Structure 1
Amino acid sequence: MTCPNSIRPDPAATSGLRPLSQLSHPREVIRQFTPNWFAATMGTGILSLTLAQVPLQIPGLRLLAEALWLFNIVLFVLFTALYTARWVFFFDEARRVFGHSTVSMFFGTIPMGMATIINGFLVFGVPHWGDAAVSIAEVMWWLDVAMSLACGVLIPFMMFTRQQHSIDQMTAVWLLPVVAAEVAASSGGLLAPHLATATAQFQVLITSYVMWAFSVPVALSILTILLLRMALHKLPHESMASSSWLALGPIGTGSLGMLVLGGDAPAIFAANGLPGVGEIANGIGLIAGVTLWGLGLWWMLMAVLITVRYLRNGIPFNLGWWGFTFPLGVYASTTLKLGSVLNLSFFSLLGTLLVLSLVALWVVVMARTVRGAYRGELFVSPCIAGLGNK
């Protein structure tokens, strides 16, 4: 399997420090731009949100978190402009993505990256702009829902009808288009209490439950197949090392979604004439959240062991490294949420340690990404790799 956006060999060491030295022309930035880049907005966005959630009174921490959220907005707008430009100026090459068995999966990173921005409007925007921030988040959320539904259906449909796949080449990247819906569900849980009317809150809450069910069972089915694949065919190539962490994403997000939606349920269901249902949903949400967190613990420990094994031979850097960040971040967020809901210091302490690990990881990955982007090494589209740089 071709690794998405893998680093090209350096043809001339003396040219390595010049901007875009690995590209034949600056327009290749647009021609070679792929959805993989939006994984950086997922990692940056979840870091900003988890920093704001840490139960420590550190001067400037919230300001840093907000600055990262604003930076993430800039990244998302920039990547959207570049990818739109690719479709405008290189349409025939851009549409090849739908036939690629790996790169097409990364369409799911677009709505997931947007979800972190939506959450930021609720966490950081409301104190500054009040109802205006909520209105922006609401409009963006419904757009995010539509995009997540499209990714969750159309990408698997193309897997079934036009792409070439095999079990021995399977990785957790298969999860990306499916997981977007449950990320939208968790965002809906954050959005619903901010809405002005009971009807609007109820609509968002029910839609979020549907989005959760649209995603989590399918993701768990994929994980079941992934376990069999790894048992029979062992680990993927080192260039796909970060994919071992992707499994933590749907589990952590599924847990967080149940906790957040369950917390919303009593008040919202009661306001819509269903008080008993709300209390039941709250209890189910807590039990399901804890249960999925436990499953995530198994996957996280397994991912650590797998990563250590990969490190023996070295892991080549590519944009896939952002796959280390978002799953860890959402699991850290879920852990901190459990700490606040259950009032257990164990979860709060572990969640804080996970966030600190995420900070260190983000710094490394972002530094390598900036370096690779500056040299042009990361602008590689596997969909047109055989066409040459014309």
Structure 2
Amino acid sequence: MQKPFYQLEQTRDVIRQFTPNWFTMTMGTGVVALILPEFPFAQALLWQVATGLWQFNIMVFSAFMMLYLLRWLIYPQEAKQIFSHPSMALFLGAIPMGLATIINGFLKFGIILYGDVAIQIAQLLWYIDVILAVVIAVIVPFFMFSKQDHQLHTMTAMWLLPIVACEVAATSGGLLLAHLAAGQQAVGILLSSYMLWGMSVLPAFGILTILMLRLALHQLPSKELAITGWLALGPIGTGALALLVLGAQAPHVLAFIQQEALGIFFQNAGIVASFILLGFGLWWFAIAVLTTLKHAATDLPFNLGWWGLTFPLGVFTLAILNLGHQLHINFIVDTGLAFATILMMLWVIVMSKTLHGIYQGNLFFSPCLKALLEREQG
């Protein structure tokens, strides 16, 4: 029986069992912090709460990074087994996505707290985030193709995780541009962000196509993986959000190179495309809800995968809110706030269950370590 966290024999137990799926906690918490100030009531209070939550998220992300780096330093042979594991390797994408919520927080909260230095920090972190996202988006699929064992009937929406990080970075690039002067650097960030979008959204839609085939041929995933259906909202919501924030900055950025008309086209095309993507997202949202309810009728065991309820829904919500604000259409904004309310309730549930699991110690478990031990014993 797993020992409670406070009874773990030594810190090395936590380090040895630490896996990157913990970073989904920072993804969900970060997106909640970014959405909280969008509610039209108690603005001052919600801003303070959101700022505190963002700062808390920075501490959690830093602690997780330290634990994961220590695992590579202390247990390198065990840590590298992640590249052979068909599911745990996918969660490497959660690292740059968790970092992106911190970057966006520096632009939203940090400027008020720390001044213009927050923009410089956000810009530096964005470059790091892009490098991480691109490397993971290439390396993890390569190991999927060359080293891991995958079957169609075991495939889930988790395949999206290493891919989506690039479009999340593209969104952060668009938010960063709002605080930079138009120039060659801004043009480079804008165009590279659109390329990041292409590196992510197009492969993600290929994965969604395979996922729909898998669901049709092999039915719904097991109850342990029921929540993975919500992950499909991630590339759809982030894809729409990235087009909206990049399109909003494109006219004045591209005016620097006498291409303002192209920027206006990007802006208008982003709005049209976001409507299409959000419509697709509503369909996936309905499928995810029905899948969850079907399993919840019997038993739905908690695991860290439940954080998949938060970040994908969060970016989907942000896209709706951004679209409503750009078009000044109240019912779209109200729809986004309704999704935001659902998100807040889900975050409270998932966070409370996570804290309880940390206290009990039963969430510290490395599947790739178990697979290694089984091979050694066999």
2:238 to 253, 266, 279: 253
Summarize deviations over 1:70-114 as a string: whole Å, max 9, x none. 000000000000001101111111110000000000000000000
**Cα distance, 1:235–1:20 mapped onto 2, change above 3 Å:** farther
CA distance in 2, matches of 1:364, 1:168: 30
User: CA separation in 1, counterparts of 2:321 and 2:353?
Assistant: 29
Q: Which runs of 4+ in 1 moved over 6 A?
A: none
Give the residue type in structure 2 aligned to 1:19.
F
TM-score using structure 2 length: 0.96
| CA contact 1:20–1:26 (8 Å) conserved in 2 | no
User: Counterparts of 1:244 and 1:291 in 2: how far apart (Å)?
Assistant: 20
- Answer yes or no: is 1:40 the counterpart of 2:28: no
State whether structure 2 residue 184 is matched by structure 1 residue 215.
no
Percent pairwise identity: 47
- The answer as to 2:35 corresponding to 1:50 is yes
Quote the residue 1:5 is aligned against: none
CA displacement 1:265-305 (0-9 Å, x = unmatched) = 11111122111111111111110111111111111111111
Structure 1 Cα separation of the partners of residues 287 and 41 of structure 2: 29
Q: Which residue of 2 aligns with 1:238?
A: 223
* C-alpha distance in structure 2 between counterparts of 1:332 and 1:197, whole Å: 29
Correspondent of 2:5 among 16, 19, 26: 19
Match of 1:182 in 2: 167
Aligned counterparts, 1:210-359, within 5 A: 210-359=195-344
The number of equivalent residue pairs is: 374
Q: Which consecutive unaligned segments of at least 5 residues does structure 1 have?
A: 1-10
Q: 241-250 or 347-356: which moved more?
A: 347-356
Deviation at 1:174, TM superposition (A): 0.2
> For residues 169-208 of structure 1, what are the structure 2 equivalents within 5 Å?
169-208=154-193
The aligned residue for residue 86 of structure 2 is: 101
Amino acid across the alignment from 2:108:
V
Structural RMSD (CA): 1.5
Q: 1:24 offset after TM fit, Å?
A: 5.8
After TM superposition, the score normalised by the length of structure 1 is 0.93
Deviations 1:166-213 (A, max 9, x none): 000000000000000000000100001212352221111111001001
Q: Give secondary structure in 2 for the equivalent of 1:377.
A: coil
Going from structure 1 to structure 2, the CA distance change for 1:184 and 1:82 (only over 3 Å counts) comes to: same
Q: Can you list the C-alpha shifts for 1:310-341, whole angstroms capped at 9, x where unaligned?
A: 10111111110101100111111111111111
CA distance in 2, matches of 1:19, 1:231: 41
**Contact residue 100 and residue 163 of structure 1 kept, 8 A:** yes
Alpha-carbon separation, structure 2, partners of 1:284 and 1:35: 36
**Are 1:75 and 2:65 an aligned pair?**
no
Unmatched runs of 5 consecutive residues or more in structure 2: none
Aligned counterparts of 2:298 and 2:30: Cα–Cα separation in 1: 31
| Bigger proportion of residues as helix | 2
Shift of 1:61: 0.6
